[in-house]
Amino acid sequence: MLSFCLRRRCFSTGIQQIEKDGARILRIVKKRVDERALLTSQLSESMSTPEDITRLKQLKESEPIQEAWDEWAKTREALHETTALLEDPELKSMASEDYTMLSNTLQELVKTRFPAILVPPSRTAHLSALMELKSGVGGSEASLFLGEMLRMYLRLAQSQRWKASVVSESALDGGGVRDAVVEVRGPGAYDALRFESGVHRVQRVPATEQSGRVHTSTVAVVVLPLMEEADAQQEELYSMDDVKIEVMRARGAGGQHVNKTESAVRLTHIPTGVTVAMQDERSQHQNKRRAFQILASRLMEAKLIREMAERRASRRNLVSSADRSDKIRTYNFAQERVTDHRIGLSLMNLRSVMEGDGLQDFVAALQRDNEETALEDLLAED
């Protein structure tokens, strides 16, 4: 009998624990549900005044939160009833099964469903990514590692069914790549890869090193949202009047006098001072198109950063937005370990990160961390 009481106390503590853990999010959901009730009470009898129409629209939009809340209330009620049944020795075993199921549902509501409804969906979810890799300190060893990173990302793209293409690459005679630009096309590519932006550090004994001394080299990665012409227009990123288009290098008399390939183009977005130079393509028209795409991608990134800053403006000093110069990850070959410094995640299988599915674990963990941060932002507004 004594053991039974203990278990019961333990069960009710379970409900309290869920409510305590989810107190802040439950408070927000409750607030939204109360707002709905207020809106409903404000509707006129005819339900057709202009104010009504706005209210009905708002009610429609917040329906999912109401539904989830109703489910919460229903499940909570059922849980209380089940708790009573636990005292009946005949029904005990069946009831405890229900009890587990119902508590799981409550847990799931608090941990997943409520946040999913409250946190607005990513507005960049449909965007592809433009990824730039540049070797930093470490000379040719950095370039060798950059080549390996390039293959790592191409492999990731393949496993995610994104279409990756290297649009420019300066390969070195002695092996390795000094810098490269990769287009990764496919929905979700930007949202997954954006957290790769930053400085990646490699620690190993270079193949060329005779003395066996460990070198530290770096590769800088910048990931931009790839803006197609339609996306750029929709976001109203720039007006053509604000973009100065310059052709680079003189052509002498030009025209029939010259048949040298001279297609480099530079764009300057005057209000922001952002400049883009492009010479990888064989015609001016193609270079101009590519340059405009990169300009739009850079302006979009700036816009996203600005929006995030505005959202967080009310928060004190919690802003930890990654600076491009921040060291984000270390690949330590001697210890076979990859560590992401932002989330403190280490994987002990370096080879699986470079050549297998290990990188996906980092990508997923960083996305999860981002979602949690978004939720924290939301809770902080409360």
Partner 1 sequence: MASSFSRLAATLGRRQAALELRWLKAAQVHAPLEEMVSRRVAGEPLQYILETQPFGPLTLKTRAPTLIPRPETEDWTIRLAELLKNTSSKRRRKVLDLGTGSGCIPLLLCELLPQGTLTTFGVDQSLLAVQLARENAELTGFSTDEQRNTFSAFQASFLDPLFPQLHLGLEPPFDVLTSNPPYISWNEYLRLPNSVLNYEDPKALFGGPDGLDFYRAIARLAATRGFLSPDAVVAVEVGDGQAQQVEEIFHSVARVNSVIWLDPWDKQRTVVVWLQPVDASHSRRFISGESGYPQ
Which residues of the chain form contacts with partner 1 (CB under 8 A)? 168-170, 173, 245, 247, 250-251, 253-263, 279-286
Residue closer to partner 1, measured from CB, 282 or 324: 282
φ/ψ (deg, to 5) at 26: -65, -35
Q: H helices within 2-111, ranges in order? A: 2-21, 23-42, 50-61, 63-85, 92-108
Contact 267, 245 (CB under 8 A): yes
Is 382 strand, coil or helix? coil
Residue closer to partner 1, measured from CB, 65 or 181: 181
Residue closer to partner 1, measured from CB, 169 or 377: 169
**CA gap 66, 70 in Å, rounded:** 6
Token digits of residue 289: 């198109």
Tally the C-alpha atoms within 13 A of residue 345's C-alpha that lie toward its C-beta: 20
- Report the nearest approach of partner 1 to the CB of residue 246 (Å): 8
Residue closer to partner 1, measured from CB, 118 or 278: 278
In one letter, which amino acid is 174? G
Token digits of residue 147: 């080549």
Residue closer to partner 1, measured from CB, 258 or 305: 258
Residue closer to partner 1, measured from CB, 166 or 374: 166
- Report the nearest approach of partner 1 to the CB of residue 170 (Å): 7
**CA gap 290, 60 in Å, rounded:** 42
- Report the nearest approach of partner 1 to the CB of residue 255 (Å): 5
Q: H helices within the chain, ranges in order? A: 2-21, 23-42, 50-61, 63-85, 92-108, 114-118, 139-159, 189-193, 229-235, 284-311, 350-355, 358-381
- Report the nearest approach of partner 1 to the CB of residue 208 (Å): 19
Token digits of residue 272: 């922001």
Residue closer to partner 1, measured from CB, 15 or 247: 247
Please name the residue that has the structure tokens 């939301």: 378
Nearest to 65 by CA among 134, 103, 117: 117
- Report the nearest approach of partner 1 to the CB of residue 61 (Å): 41
Contact 127, 226 (CB under 8 A): yes
- Report the nearest approach of partner 1 to the CB of residue 193 (Å): 24
- Report the nearest approach of partner 1 to the CB of residue 180 (Å): 12
Contact 115, 368 (CB under 8 A): no
Residue closer to partner 1, measured from CB, 167 or 205: 167
- Report the nearest approach of partner 1 to the CB of residue 244 (Å): 12
